[in-house]
Amino acid sequence: MKRKIFIIGAITIVALAGAFLFYFFYLKNPSRQVLARVNDEKITVEQFNKELAKVENPIQDMYKEEPNKLLEGIIIKLLLLQEAKKQGFSTPVTTYKDAEKDSRSLEESIINEFMEKKFSSPPEVTREEIERFYKMYKDQMQGKPLKEATPAIEQYIREAKRQDALQEFLGELRSNAKVEIAEDRLKKIASKPAESNTEEDFKRALLSGKPVLVDFGANSCIPCRQMRPILKELGKEYGGKASVLVIDVYKYQRLASDYGIRLIPTLIFFDSKGKEIFRSMGAMGKDKIVEKLKEIGISS
C-alpha cells in the first residue's frame, strides 16, 4: 500500500513538474507570447524586444514606459509589408550574399520599393497655392519677392502634401485592418515611468533656505530625458548646498502656468530666498549649469 502511494505521489510530482516546465519554457517563451495579431499574423514579445533593442536612449526608455507607441509602429510596418506583398512586391534572393541578409532587411526592401512606387508622382502645386502661402507668411520671407521665394515655397507645399497623403494612406490601412492587441500583456511589459518631484517638493525646496534648480519638463520630451542623468549627477554633487528638482509640466499644469513655462525643458534657478534669478529655455549642458551655479555663489 505504501509503495502504491509512493508511486502515485511520484507520478503526481513528475506531472506537476512537467506542467511547470511546459508553462515556463513554452507558454512563457517570448517567441510564443503574442502581443498583437494583425490580419491574423502574430507580433510576439520576442519581435517587440528585437525592435526595442534597435532604438537608442532616451527613446528606448520612453518606449519601455509606453510600449504601445512602439507596438503601433511595428503594426504599421507589418501592414505595409502585407500590402506590398498583396500588390505583388517581393525581393528575390539571387546571390549567396543576399541569402545571408537578415530577413528584416529584405522586408524593409520590399516596403521601400512599394512605397517609392506608390508615391512616385510628386503632388501638384498650383500657382494659387504658392501665392496664398506667400501672402500668409510674407513677413517671414526676409524681404524676398514672390519670384525669388517661389522654389522654396513650392518645395515646402509639395512635401507637406506628400506627408498628408502618406498619413491618409497609413490611416486607411490601419482602419481597414483586423488588429487585436493583448492589452494585459502590453501592460505587463511596460516599465514604471521615470519619477519626478511633486508640487509639495517644490514648495518645500523654495522654503528650505537653499538655492534651487528646477527643470520644468516631461517624460515624453526627448531633450528633457537627455537631461535627467545630468540633473541626477548634480543632485548628488550639490546635495547639501542646493536642491535639484524635476517637475512634470503635464502633471502640474497650474504650477507650470504660474511660472510662465512656454517651452520644455525650462530650467529656473532660485536663490536661497526662493527668488528666481535666472532661467534657460531648452536643454542646457552640465558645464553651463555648473557655471551658472558658480555665478550665484554655489560650488560643489
Closest CA to 298 of 276, 275, 269: 269
Cell triple for 256: 507650470
Choosing from 130, 224, 244, 267, which is the catalytic residue?
A: 224
In this structure, are strands 243-248 and 212-217 parallel, antiparallel, or unpaired? parallel
Q: Is 81 a catalytic residue?
A: no
Q: Is 211 exposed, middle or buried (0-12, 13-18, 19+ CB in 10 A)?
A: buried
Beta strand spans in the chain (E): 34-38, 41-44, 179-181, 212-217, 243-248, 266-270, 276-281
- Beta strand pairing status for 41-44 and 34-38? antiparallel
Specify the pairing of strand 179-181 against strand 243-248: unpaired
User: Which listed residue (78, 84, 214, 221) is catalytic?
Assistant: 221
Quickly count: other Cβ atoms within 10 Å of residue 194's Cβ: 16
Rounded to 5 degrees, what are φ and ψ at 248? -80, 115
- Annotated catalytic residue 198: no
Distance CA 297, CA 124 (A): 60
Where in the sequence numbering do the catalytic residues fall? 221, 224
